[in-house]
Every structure is written in C-alpha cells, then in structure tokens.
Amino acid sequence: MTEHPTDFAVRALHEAFGLQGRLEPLPGEHDLNFKVTAADGGRYLFKIHAADLAPERAELQAAILRHLEHQAPDLPLPRLFLGREGQALPVIDDAQGRARRLRLTTWLDGTTWVEARRRDAGSAASLGRLLARLDRCLADFHHPAAAPYAWDLAGAASLSEDVMLIVDPERHRVAAEVLQRFTADVVPRLAGRPKQVIHGDANDRNVLLDADGMVSGLIDFGDVVETWRVNELAVAAAYLAVGAADPIAIIRPLLQAYGAEAPIAEVEADLLFDLILTRYAVSMVMAARQSRQFPGNAAYLLVSQDDVWRAMTAIRALNRPLAVATLRHACGHEPVAARRAIDAWILRNGHDFGPVLPLALTRETLRILPLGADRDTAARPGISYAERLAEVLPGIDGMPLGRYAEDRAPYDRGRARTIHLAIDLYAPAGTAVQAPLPGRIALIGNDATADGFGGILVLEHEAGTPHRFWTAYGHLAPADLAKWKAGDPVGRGDTLAHLGTTAENGGWPPHLHIQLLTALTVDRAEDLMGVLPPEDVDLWEGISPNPNAILGLPVNAAAPIAHRPGALRRLRARWIGAALSLSYETPLKIVRGAGATLIAEDGRRYLDLVNNVCHVGHCHPRVVEAIAGQAARLNTNTRYLHDNLVEYAHRLTTLLPPELSSVFLVNSGSEANDLALRLARAYTGGTEVMVLDHAYHGNLSSLIDISPYKFDGPGGAGRPRHVWVAEMPDLYRGRIRYGEAEAGPRYAERVTTLLRDLSGLDRRIAAFFAEPLLGCGGQLVLPEGYLAAAFAEVRAAGGVCIADEVQVGFGRVGSHFWAFETQGVVPDIVTMGKPIGNGHPMGAVACRPEIAAAFANGMEYFNTFGGNPVSAAAGLAVLDVIRDERLMANAAARGEQLTAGFKSLAECHRVIGDVRGLGLFMGVELVRDRDTLEPADRALKAIVEVMKEEGVLLSSEGPHHNVLKIKPPLVISEAECATVLEKIDGVMKRVAG
Ligand code: PMP
C-alpha cells in the first residue's frame, strides 16, 4: 500500500502532535520536511526523518536542540515541541511499516543566504557571532551519536580514494591536490587540537537572513558532529565565498566576529585557508559518489557543483601567503607568523646591512617630505599626490624622503588606497641601487602603467635568517633588469639596477621605493601593493613593516600609523589588559585638543567637561613649548643641581601657607599620596589611616588599601585592618542635611569616635586623608567647619592631616588656589597631581619641614623621574598660565554661570535633585523622586551618551552613579558653558522626560 508523503505527514503530525494545518513540502536531502501553518496562524517546521536514519542520529538532533534551548535561549535556533506523550522524537509507522521518527520545531523566519537580496559584511559578522555563541554552548555537549561521518572535514583524508569518481579531469586533479595537502599538512597540525560537537553545516541554505541582512536563524542540525571546532568556520566560510565577488572580504567579518566571542587558536587561523578548500573537495567527492549512486540526480548535483568549483577556483587563484595572512589577521593573530622572528633577526643583524644608495643618507642630508594627512596643511582639494609632490620637491635642498605609512588621503581624493607602505628616497636617475644584504632574485617586473612602479625587483633573503623575508625595489631603470632572472644569487653591495628616469617609471620624479615584506604576497612583481586602504593598515603593517629596519636611516622615516577606531579597539583588546575600561558604548578616538575642545578622528568636536587634568586647556602652547624646549635641552634627575626643580618648589611654596615649605616632586597623584603616607608614618610612628567613605586616593597597592571606593567596590578585598572609614559628610542624602545646624562638627564627631576605637585597641593614628571636596563621593562640598573639627581631633590623637588636592587644587575652586583654604584649615601635608603638569605626568607633596626632617632618617628617597627638569618646566608653565590668563577668575565666573544655569534647569527638570560645587568642580545629582531621593542612574547614563552625540563629554560620579560630574579645563568660555546648558536642557527633555 502506498501513501502520498504529504498524506502521511498530515496523519503523522496529527497523531504525534495533535496538530493540524496546511503542509508545504520543503527540499531535503534525506528527510521529508514540511512547513506547517496551523489554523491559528502558528507556523512550524515538521520533519519526518528518513527511514534509514540511524535512530541515535535523530536522537542526537533532538538532544542538541534541547541542550541549546537551555544554554542559549536567545539564539535564533529551532526549538523543539514535544509529542503528545511528551516524547522529543515521536515514532510512527509509515505505510510500508517502517518506523519514522518525527520532529516538530518552531518556524524561523528569514530568507536563506543564497536567496537573500541583502547580504554583506554585516551579515557575515552576524553569522560569526551566532556560530561563536553556538559553539561555546556546545563545548560541554556530548552525545555518542556525534561520531564522525562522511562529510566531516576531519575525515577528509579517507576520501582520497574516491577522488577518482570526479569525472572532470581538472576538477579531479585539483580535488586530489587539495586532499593531499590536507593529509600532509593540515591533519598533523590539527591532530592534537581538542574536538567538540559543532553544527557542522552552516551552509548558504541553512543560514537565514532578515530584511536587514542580519542572521535570523540557523537550521538543519542533521550534520552535527564532534570534530575540530574550526571546521564550523571552514564550512561557513566556504559557503559565504560561493558567489561572492571578493571571497576573502566576506569571510573576514565572519572570522572577526567569531574570534571576538570565541578566540580562534593561531594554528586554526593558519589552516583555515586549506580547510576551506578541503570543504570544497569533500563536497566534490560526495557529489561524485552520489551521482554514481543515483545517476538520475547527476545533472542536478552537477549544477550545484559548478558553484562550488567556481568558488574553489577563485580562492585558489588568490595569492596564498596573502590570503593566509588576511585570514590569520581576521582571526585576531599577527598576519604573518614569522614576523616576530624576522623583526628580531633584523634587529640583531642590521649592523651588517650595506647602503642601498651610494649616497650620504644622514640627518644633515635627509629631508622628510612635508606631505601626508598629518603634515601637509597646504594640500588642496582636487590636487593629486604627484602634483603636490611636484610643488614641494623644488623647494627642498637635500635628499627628500617620503615616509612609510604616509597617509595620502588629502590628495587623490576618492581613492581607496592611501597609505604608503614603503620609504621613498629621491635621488637622480642613474643612481645605483645596491642590495643591502645577500639574497636571490625572487621577482622581476616592469610596471609601465601611468603612476606605476617602472622597473621592479623583489629579493628573497634566507641565508642565515630564521625565516625568509623579501625586500622590494621600485622605480628602477627597466633596461637594467634584463641581466637578472629569477633565482639568481645577489651579494651584499651588488648593484641591482639604477634609478629609472621619470619617463621610465610611471611619470614620477626619480626615486627608489623600498619595501620590506614578511610574506611574498604577490605572484607578479607588477602586483606589488605599494599603497593600501586605510582600513587595512593593521593587516599590512604586519605584512610590510617599516623598511627602515633595512635602511637604518637616522631619521624617523615613518608617519604615525592611524588605525580605524574599530580596528584599534580590537588591537587594544589584544594587547592591553582588560581591567582598563573605555568610556561610552562606542568609544571615542580623540586625536587633537585645544582649550576645552577635543577633536575626534572623524573631525567631530567635543566640549570636554570632565578633564581637570588639562587644567589650563588641552595642548596649551606655553606648556607644550616649555616641555619641548626643556626636553630638547636636557632631561636628568634630582641627583644633579638644576634650576627648574628648585624654582618650581619655590613657586609652589609661595602659593601655599608658609607652614608647608618642604616639597617633593613625584610622577602622579598616586605617588604623591603614597609618599604622604610614608611621611606621616615616619613622623608620627603610627600605623593607622583614616579616610572618608567612598574616597579614592590612587592606584598603588598602599592606596587601594585606603580607598573605600575600590576596596568596597567590585573586585575589592574589603577594608584592611589598619584602615578606618569615617562617615562621608553628604548634605544631600546623608545623616545631616542642608540647612541643619553645625553639620560640619556633627559629621566630624564620627572621626572622634573612630579615634577613640582605634586607641582603645592600642593602635596609633598616622594620618587622616581627606579631599577638601569629595570626588568619587559624588562631587560633594564639605559642610562648613568639617575639616577644622576633624583636623583638631586627629592632631590631638597624634596624627597628621593630609589634604588630597589631586582633583581640586590649582585654582579650580575659583575663590582660592587650594580647596582646603575654603575650609579655613592648614593641613600638615598637601598632595597634588592631575592638573599640576597639564597632562604631563607629575605630582607633588608639600609638608611641614619637621615632617620632611623626620623622613630623612638615613634612608635615601630617590625617584628616578620625580622632579626632572622637563616635568618641573611643565609645572612652572602651568603656574604661569594660571596667573597670566587670570584663570581663577574664570573658574569662579564660569562656576557661577553653570551653577545658576543648572539651578534654573532644576525648576523644570525634576530629575535634578541637587546642584553643588565650588568654581569649576561641580556635581549635579539626578533623582527619580525628590522625596525618596531614589537615584536616577539610568537616566544619567543615557544623558551622558546622548550629550556625547551632541558634542559634550560628561561622566557619572558618586556611589550611586547618579551625579553628573563637571570639571572642565579652567579656560572654558562663557559661550561654551551656555552651549552646554542649552544642550543639556534639550537632552533632559528627551531622555528624562
Ligand atoms: N587622589 C584623588 C582624589 C584622585 O582622584 C586620584 C585620581 N583619580 C588620585 C589621587 C590618583 O592620581 P593618579 O591617577 O594621577 O595617580
């Protein structure tokens, strides 16, 4: 008896799942698949497994779907419905009496990758992210039926015998070659790699995309297998390349996105190129097997094989070292594995290299061309590099040098490739070009196109080197190259050729283009990549590093390399510890600053409302000059007499109360606080330290210990025994609030209590640390009389009082030079940092001379950099600018303007709970409710993000992350403050309602 498959399906669906609906058959290699639309509109995928499918394979698929449902409920994968009796895989006999396993899953919307109209780099990246997360979830999934099967790449070697089934002789030859390479090279290198279960078939018919081209589903778990994890990527990459105009360009984002979520091992990255080709070979062999088994299907199978063959041919036509380097780089690895060893070898052996031109290439003779995006201010729209060069060259006396990494974007506008990968040395036509080290001729070419290279030679170097590398020479006289053939040996100092004339080398003025290559990325010399697209700079820097390693020219022959923000972020993640965080959801790449303005790479300007380091304005010319001038003259240390150190100490002490006449210069606020701690302990003999709650005093171990903001925060180890935390006086949400009498002395009573506690335990106080305005505490102004009362108690107990002016000193509060002065006290020790050098790393400690004397107990204090002549010069310039530009008056006026502005905004924005501060150190506390004071931290985060889009940089502060921190450079103008207020008004309307 026969039963039509759809009739059977209708029956099975009803019997097993109690579901009825419209069934549409879908293609499937072995199973019967149907799209089911139920009466209520619900859609499902109904699968009737092939009768000959081993039951455990069907069970495997069900098990994996259930595992993923638990592990990754948010991934767009099919979700399993259980049968009427709760079975994952109900079984029903078909008309032939064969047991058929049934599976009902959710229907995933989308268009398959092959059919999708919109698919681009973003689509590939979204697939990479999905596969990475999927594979991570599957890492702990095991199932006995996930055993290797014919399509598994890991077993491709065993297909070698069936290659002969491929009828077409060329395809046969190529598949055999690929499988041979796989067996010989790939298998041994992957042999030790751990295996895991993967989807195994993310091909272009199993990946679904939504209308925006983003992956909306991955279907068909029929090829699940336990194998090398990298095979997941090899399969996906192989199919993304099918039909792609530039196969590598579509594979790169797949790998980048995957690698960002699930790191790809270097050996895997190295082998991906071969694994992709192997996948094509497997597909060809399997198709050949099937067309032999089912001759009726042969024509159909061959059509899809044509696509595979085209993709395979396109990939094989690529230059292998370049493709491998590109894939390695996309996986997050150094593009060329040998780069490190080559660099190291050149570093050790460079002294043996000979001159490339028989000319004096010295600091005196070489002239770096004033070209490139970072130097040329006279470039005009529409002008080409060649034209600009022709304008500049005649004015140069000496040997012009075009820099490596020079960005030619200001010229040749619209060109994709703008970054120069070589050094250009301009010399007369006919100048001999000599081999700097022995090698042999690798490539010879003549690029006669306009703007071309003219005669080119590429030398390969391997004698004595750990890895081969290449040097390339362009703009040679083509006639000279006739004497060479590939493979000829070349000795150090041998003349390779002479520089060509303008007519012979693409119209350029005579010069040598010299490039270093760690991989031979071209098959023909004429294809040498001399200029590259800026987005590829980090890839190409790895392939063609600065050739001055070969030349040894005594000048900086390289332009600064500018990475695109996305690439920079990836590189940063690779090399910089993850404990260093970035601001903003999309971090900024700032490249310039002036006054209170910061300028991003894309030219966008931002008002900087949070930088109290660049106190007198970003890149203030007087400070820059002072630093550069002193750096050009001398930089040493405090073991020699130098005017700057003494002059600086003198200037600083004249700004401090006369009691504080001893000064130490250090390198940061943290170092200043650490030294203050040592001074206090030496002077008092005590060990204990008292700080205010939520305070931060620096990043050294000694200071993390006394910073509740850190030790009580995420990752903190809690309060150490020698540390005593006093209540933070917070007049807005604390125990005693605005308007209550004697708030200062009453908050200070807690200091008294703690002092009593610690002396009761027989401990002695060394120091009381306080910021005169509280930064991390939430930009709080201390209540009147607080420090006076606290200091008196601490001193009575034998301790010293330390004012941490790192954030708030140097005139920021407007009314006084130091913030402690607003409390009417004189500390025993004052510590300084941040603004002191306007960004130059510097710090200082000022103390009473008897404290400094007690510290001089025989142990020398030496600080290599502290107080060096350059730092002292920076410090002096900052003091001059504060005075000459009347910046304290500006701090006071702008502080009043902003305070008044925010207070008037508070009248219409109920989210503003409190506006406080002194001068240009302000906090605006946001609350969801002015009675309960519930912190509006989310609103604040949103405001900070939107204000960034509006061109204003702000940040959050305080224990509840709900205080808007405002501490701009003191030079901020009235108009700039007005802009900030206007923008914040608009943003608060939008964000906080
Ligand atoms: N003290 C205070 C109050 C600070 O805010 C900071 C830095 N945020 C430091 C000390 C430490 O300064 P630095 O990071 O320059 O070492």
Instruction: List, run by run, the mean pLDDT of 10-residue segments along the chain (993 residues).
Output: 81 93 86 92 93 90 94 95 91 90 95 92 97 97 88 89 92 97 96 93 94 96 94 97 94 96 96 98 93 74 83 96 97 94 94 96 97 92 93 96 95 88 98 97 95 96 86 98 97 98 95 97 95 92 96 96 86 92 94 97 95 97 98 97 97 98 98 98 98 98 98 97 98 97 98 97 98 98 98 98 98 98 98 98 98 96 97 98 98 98 97 98 98 97 97 97 98 98 96 71
CA distance 129 to 123: 10
The residues near 412 (Cβ < 8 Å, ≥ 6 apart) are 384, 385, 418
Question: Does residue 958 line the site of ligand 1, with CB under 6 A?
Answer: no
Question: What pLDDT is recorded for position 992?
Answer: 67
* Distance (Å) from CA 699 to ligand 1 centroid: 7
Torsion angle, alpha carbons of 843, 846, 850, 855, to 10: -10
Question: What pLDDT is recorded for position 267?
Answer: 97
CA distance 919 to 457: 66
* Distance (Å) from CA 805 to ligand 1 centroid: 9
Neighbouring C-beta atoms of residue 303, cutoff 10 Å: 9
What is the DSSP code string of 49-107? --TTS-HHHHHHHHHHHHHHHHH-TTS----EEP-TTS-SS-EEE-TTS-EEEEEEEEP
CA distance 794 to 798: 6
Strand partners, 38: 21
Torsion angle, alpha carbons of 121, 123, 124, 130, to 10: 150
For residue 530, give the nearest of 433, 419, 427 by alpha carbon: 419
Question: Does residue 771 line the site of ligand 1, with CB under 6 A?
Answer: yes
* Distance (Å) from CA 807 to ligand 1 centroid: 7
Strand partners, 247: none
What is residue 348's three-state secondary structure? helix
Give 520's DSSP letter. Answer: -
Asked whether the beta carbons of 496 and 457 are under 8 A apart, the reply is yes
The residues near 70 (Cβ < 8 Å, ≥ 6 apart) are none
For residue 706, give the nearest of 734, 733, 678, 732 by alpha carbon: 678
Question: Does residue 611 line the site of ligand 1, with CB under 6 A?
Answer: no
CA-proximal residue: ligand 1, atom 16 (nearest):
670
What is residue 396's three-state secondary structure? coil
DSSP H or E stretch at residue 292:
helix 266-293
761 burial via Cβ count (<10 Å: 0-12, 13-18, 19+): exposed
Terminal-residue alpha carbon distance, the chain: 71
Give 525's DSSP letter. Answer: G
Which atom of ligand 1 is closest in space to residue 670's alpha carbon? 16
Question: What pLDDT is recorded for position 486?
Answer: 97
910 burial via Cβ count (<10 Å: 0-12, 13-18, 19+): middle
CA-proximal residue: ligand 1, atom 8 (nearest):
698
Q: For ligand 1, pick from 702, 804, 806, 863 the residue to mutate: most ligand atoms within 8 Å of CB.
A: 806
Strand 688-692 with 765-770, pairing: parallel
Which atom of ligand 1 is closest in space to residue 833's alpha carbon? 15
CA distance 418 to 388: 14
DSSP H or E stretch at residue 47:
strand 43-48
Asked whether the beta carbons of 817 and 809 are under 8 A apart, the reply is yes
Question: Does residue 105 line the site of ligand 1, with CB under 6 A?
Answer: no
Q: Look up residue 127 and give its two tokens.
A: 């697939």
Question: Does residue 699 line the site of ligand 1, with CB under 6 A?
Answer: yes
Asked whether the beta carbons of 387 and 413 are under 8 A apart, the reply is no
For residue 897, give the nearest of 820, 817, 821, 966 by alpha carbon: 966
Question: Does residue 697 line the site of ligand 1, with CB under 6 A?
Answer: yes
CA distance 955 to 961: 9
Question: What pLDDT is recorded for position 298?
Answer: 66
Q: How far, CA to CA in Å, does 790 sit from each of 289, 755, 776, 809?
A: 89, 10, 20, 20
Asked whether the beta carbons of 179 and 159 are under 8 A apart, the reply is yes
Question: Does residue 528 line the site of ligand 1, with CB under 6 A?
Answer: no
Q: For ligand 1, pick from 614, 696, 707, 710 the residue to mutate: most ligand atoms within 8 Å of CB.
A: 696
φ and ψ at residue 30, rounded to 5 degrees: -120, -45
Which residue blocks in 350-412 are alpha helix, DSSP H?
A: 385-392
Taken in order 632, 637, 643, 648, is the CA torsion positive or negative? Answer: positive
CA distance 239 to 114: 9
* Distance (Å) from CA 833 to ligand 1 centroid: 7
Neighbouring C-beta atoms of residue 965, cutoff 10 Å: 23
Question: Does residue 804 line the site of ligand 1, with CB under 6 A?
Answer: yes
Question: What pLDDT is recorded for position 832?
Answer: 98
Question: What pLDDT is recorded for position 739?
Answer: 96
CA-proximal residue: ligand 1, atom 9 (nearest):
698
CA distance 411 to 430: 29
Question: What pLDDT is recorded for position 468?
Answer: 94
CA distance 891 to 817: 11
Give 796's DSSP letter. Answer: H
The residues near 812 (Cβ < 8 Å, ≥ 6 apart) are 612, 615, 819, 835, 891, 919, 920, 921, 967, 970
What is the DSSP code string of 560-625? PP---HHHHHHHHHHHS-TTS--SSSS---EEEEEBTEEEETTS-EEEESS-SSSTT-BT-HHHHH
CA distance 804 to 676: 10
Q: For ligand 1, pick from 580, 834, 957 the residue to mutate: most ligand atoms within 8 Å of CB.
A: 834
